[in-house]
Structure 1
Amino acid sequence: MKKKNSYKQVCLFMVLFGLMLSNMANAQSSDSKNLNAWSTVSIEYKPNKKWSFELAEQLRLKENLSLVDEYFTELQTEYSVNKNFSLGAGARFIRQNDTEGNIQGYENHFRFQFDASYKHKINDFKLDYRLRYQNKNDLSVSSDEGDYANQHLRFKTGIEYNIKNWKLDPQFSAEIFNHFEKGEDGGFDKYRLTFGTDYDMKKYGKISLYYRFEKELNVDLPETTNIIGLSYKYTIKNK
């Protein structure tokens, strides 16, 4: 009976993802090109209860899934100070597809970030908060040529509701981005809303899917972006 219920949950998980993809594609008007897709595969290693290390590969598509936006390799680490508070850092090498302007093509970018996270539980709710400093730079252009690091402070808060005897617990998060860069006006420039769920296959890893909405701030014609995401993570724990 338990195996039958697990099979039904996996099927429902895939059906939900298919419906999300179909509805998002149908929602796009003929002159709109703001549907993106993000897919991620990662492996995580936990040598003990304090430390974790993760290597991820991600592919992002844009313009109604017709073009590659970017793909990257990312290495992250996290240290748990206690059961609620953790510190993290990460680095990302990015191949970004520039499809605007006179010079187009793939560019090399490098990004690093530092995180401080806090999580706790209230009854059946899990809440988490993350403050991130992010620094991204175009490796093909130097500061002498007018290129400076694109920096952000990001604050994210999330909530997950634990449904008894149900493995697809709903998750929601909201994040706001504060931009600052030499030679440009700073301030809040984007917010992000995400709704999703995941399915833990125990020793076979975890699958996650989500829908994400992004919108620019403090510009005359703010761009909105709809994102569908699917990720797989396999975790190795030191026994």
Structure 2
Amino acid sequence: MKKGRNYKNLCLFMLLLSILFSNTMYAQTEDSKNLNLWSSVEIEYKLNDKWSFELSQQLRLKEDISLVDEYFTELQTEYSVNKNFSLAGGLRFIRQNDTDGNIQGYENHLRFQFDAKYKHKINDFKLDYRLRYQNKNDLSVSSDEGDYANQHIRLKAGIEYNIKNWKLDPQFSAEIYNHFEKGEAGGFDKYRLTFGTDYDMKEYGKIGLYYRIERDLNVDLPETTNIIGLTYKYTFK
């Protein structure tokens, strides 16, 4: 009985992966330069039941995974108010590759964010929600030169289904961005849809794979970006 259930779970997972990559290949034929690859390595330290700290290094490739988009280092900390609710903050130093316009090359950006998170369970489902304030600024251009902080309010909701005797539980999340910046019209400007899974290797850490669709909102020519993500995370106490 257990073997038959595992076989069905494997077939379902392979079907979802086939749909995922079929959609990616279709998107490539529609726009050959909208496929990105995001990769990250993260180290988490849990100080106690309340506090945790995380350091990550990430690399993002664009234009059919042929060109560096950006790479960055991020430091985050999280405080658990109780088993369901937590507060977090993070700081990110970014090297962003500008390939548009007359002046091109790598730029230095600094971003910080503050999060409020809530999670709970309903039977075999894990649900989580995140409200984020995000502030990103180009360090090479001052406000006197016309540069102002790019700010967003982001709302994300996610769900994970726990399949018994199966280590690759499916995960799905949806996120919407609300943009505001001095001198520009604000409003919703982007959304993300993400499907993925991860595998816990116990003392060796956790690896993950996801597929993400990112699409512009409220513009004349909205752009859709397809993203394949690879993650590795190691937690120690």
- Specify if TM > 0.5: yes
Kindly tell me the number of residue pairs found equivalent between the two proteins. Answer: 229
What amino acid is the match of 2:137? N
Deviations along 1:194-218, one digit per CA (max 9) or x if unpaired, are 0000000011000011000010000
Change (3 A) 1:102 1:79: same
What amino acid is the match of 1:50? K
CA distance in 2, matches of 1:73, 1:145: 27
Percent identity of paired positions between Structure 1 and Structure 2? 83
Report if aligned partners of 1:60, 1:69 keep a CA contact under 8 Å in 2: yes
Q: Which residues of 2 match residues 78-227 of structure 1 at below 5 A?
A: 78-227=78-227
CA distance in 2, matches of 1:133, 1:231: 24
Change (3 A) 1:207 1:18: farther
Report if aligned partners of 2:27, 2:226 keep a CA contact under 8 Å in 1: no
The aligned counterpart of 1:48 is: 48
Q: CA RMSD in A?
A: 2.3
CA distance in 2, matches of 1:23, 1:155: 25
C-alpha displacement of 1:18: 10
Deviations along 1:118-137, one digit per CA (max 9) or x if unpaired, are 00000000000000000000
Q: Which residues of 2 match residues 64-83 of structure 1 at below 5 A?
A: 64-83=64-83
CA distance in 1, matches of 2:21, 2:154: 28
CA distance in 2, matches of 1:212, 1:29: 17
Q: Note the residue ranges of structure 1 that are not aligned, 5 or more in a row.
A: 1-8
C-alpha displacement of 1:32: 2.8
C-alpha displacement of 1:23: 6.5
Deviations along 1:79-128, one digit per CA (max 9) or x if unpaired, are 00000000000000000000000000000000000000000000000000
Report if aligned partners of 1:21, 1:228 keep a CA contact under 8 Å in 2: no
The aligned counterpart of 2:229 is: 229
CA distance in 2, matches of 1:169, 1:58: 24
What amino acid is the match of 1:145? E
Q: Which runs of 4+ in 1 moved over 2 A?
A: 16-27
CA distance in 2, matches of 1:28, 1:80: 42
C-alpha displacement of 1:187: 0.2
Q: Note the residue ranges of structure 2 that are not aligned, 5 or more in a row.
A: 1-8
Range with greater deviation from structure 2 (29-38 or 87-96): 29-38
Change (3 A) 1:106 1:235: same
What amino acid is the match of 2:133? Y
Q: TM-score, normalised by structure 2?
A: 0.91
What amino acid is the match of 2:115? D
C-alpha displacement of 1:29: 1.8
Deviations along 1:22-64, one digit per CA (max 9) or x if unpaired, are 8634641275310000000010000111111000000000000
CA distance in 1, matches of 2:121, 2:57: 31
CA distance in 1, matches of 2:196, 2:106: 31
SS at match of 1:29: helix
Report if aligned partners of 1:209, 1:229 keep a CA contact under 8 Å in 2: yes
What amino acid is the match of 2:58? Q
Change (3 A) 1:17 1:74: farther
Q: TM-score, normalised by structure 1?
A: 0.90
Deviations along 1:176-232, one digit per CA (max 9) or x if unpaired, are 000000000000000000000000001100001100001000000000000000000
Report if aligned partners of 1:25, 1:35 keep a CA contact under 8 Å in 2: no
